[in-house]
Amino acid sequence: MRAVARMDRLILHIDLDCFYAAVEARDNPDYKNKPLIVGADPKGGEGRGVVSTCSYEARKFGIHSAMPISKAYRLCPDAIFVRPNFNKYKEASDRVMEIIQGYSLIFQRGGIDEAYLDVSENCSNFKQAKSIAEQIQEEIYDKIGVTCSIGCAPTKSIAKIASDYNKPNGITVIEPEDINHFLENMDITKIPGIGKKTKKYYNEKGINKIGDILSTPLPKMIELFGKYGKWVWEVAHGLDKRPVNEYHNRKSISKERTFHQDIDDFNDIFINLETLNDRIHKKLQQDNISYRTITIKIRFEGFETFTRSKSLSYPIQDKQQAMGIVTELLEEFSNKKRKIRLVGIKFSNLLQNETTKQTTLLNYVY
């Protein structure tokens, strides 16, 4: 017998369509309905950096977010290339979020271009929830000038999957009795958290479609994949119980630096990591956020990328201690005689509005 989804929640996931590109096209009518790429300067195909986002017209050429800008240029040299203006995008995003929050007190911002809304208290059925979704779409377009796609479902995870189903400017409603049919033929990467690397591991075990998860008993999923097997099984069966809550809206905070030219001077690399660490900690202190896990990212020439992490048993907010851990993680790569293209730092396992432990000598015993 298959599990039955909870029926007492009506959750919307609002996803702004190609947000950066949409804001640029809003402000520059000549960009509309054309291949538009927001990202680094392509420099005639020799540029460094990546695509931040692109319009749907650009996606028809195979271009996507995080693609090297040089490859995007080769795929579509006639595209319009625009450098990102994050202050403008943040302003537009803040105005969008203000609109969304007007429809329910139970709101969670999922990033600059997405949000969740629990409208269970406002609506008694999915028809009413869809009506709210239509009002949100209309108000965002009228006031901000961009479109969004909205998924409506009994859980956050299925609402998120649904918002991606009918883009752009679509609304997809998935009621509890329709969940299995909606999901069964989808690739498992549609489940939030399953990426390309994880997908290979599931495929090796015979799990290719979400329907394979639906037909696998829970004990077998746990046997094959551990606690995460339980999580994806619950998502597929509409049993994701996570609440819509602003407290849970961010899992990590990170910054990266792509060098204009590959470098091999580890003193320069250290200085850049130190700068990134300082910048992140300004934000952490501002928002009173502590963390338990520190990760560094190293990308060598040729795009070979490594990450290394260290987790503490308690949350901290201490840039000196964090830099000590970064230095420790960096040591592994100090003797490699290869140039480096990119470095980054990420802090995860975040805690907000918690009392951060005071640093003592014992804290430095990692």
Cβ 113 vs Cβ 16: under 8 Å: yes
Look over the chain and give the mean of its residue pLDDT values, rounded to a whole number: 88
- pLDDT tens per residue, range 101-122: 889 878 898 888 999 999 998 8
Q: Give the CB-side neighbour count of residue 87, counting CA atoms within 13 A.
A: 0
pLDDT at 194 (0 to 100): 86
Which residue type is seen at 268?
D
Name all domains of the chain by residue range, CATH numbers in brackets: 11-16+89-236 (3.30.70.270), 19-86 (3.40.1170.60), 250-364 (3.30.1490.100)
| 3 state SS for the chain | CCCCCCCCCCEEEEEECCHHHHHHHHHCHHHCCCCEEEECCCHHHCCCCEEEEECHHHHCCCCCCCCEHHHHHHHCCCCEEECCCHHHHHHHHHHHHHHHHCCCCCEEEEECCEEEEECCCCCCCHHHHHHHHHHHHHHHHHHHCCCEEEEEECCHHHHHHHHCCCCCCCEEECCHHHHHHHHCCCEHHHCCCCCHHHHHHHHHCCCCEHHHHHCCCHHHHHHHHCHHHHHHHHHHCCCCCCCCCHHHCCCEEEEEEEEEEEECCHHHHHHHHHHHHHHHHHHHHHCCEEEEEEEEEEEECCCCEEEEEEEEEEEECCHHHHHHHHHHHHHHHCCCCCCEEEEEEEEECCEECCCCCCCCHHHHCC
Cβ 264 vs Cβ 340: under 8 Å: yes
Q: Give the CB-side neighbour count of residue 37, counting CA atoms within 13 A.
A: 31
Whole-number Cα distances in Å, 127 to 10, 122, 174: 10, 12, 11
- pLDDT tens per residue, range 163-205: 999 999 999 999 999 999 999 999 999 998 788 888 998 999 9
The mean pLDDT of 210-221, rounded to a whole number, is: 96
Question: How many residues belong to the chain?
Answer: 366
- Catalytic (active-site) positions: 114
Peptide bond into 168 cis (omega under 30): yes
pLDDT at 121 (0 to 100): 85
92: left (phi over 0), alpha (psi -120 to 50) or beta: alpha
The mean pLDDT of 279-289, rounded to a whole number, is: 84
266 vs 268: CA distance, rounded Å: 5
- pLDDT tens per residue, range 45-64: 999 889 999 999 999 999 99
pLDDT of 251 above 90: no
pLDDT of 362 above 60: no
Which residue type is seen at 20?
Y
Confidence of residue 6 (pLDDT cuts 50, 70, 90): very low
pLDDT of 97 above 60: yes
Q: From 291, 306, 297, 296, select the one nearest 348 (Cα to Cα).
A: 291
pLDDT at 133 (0 to 100): 97
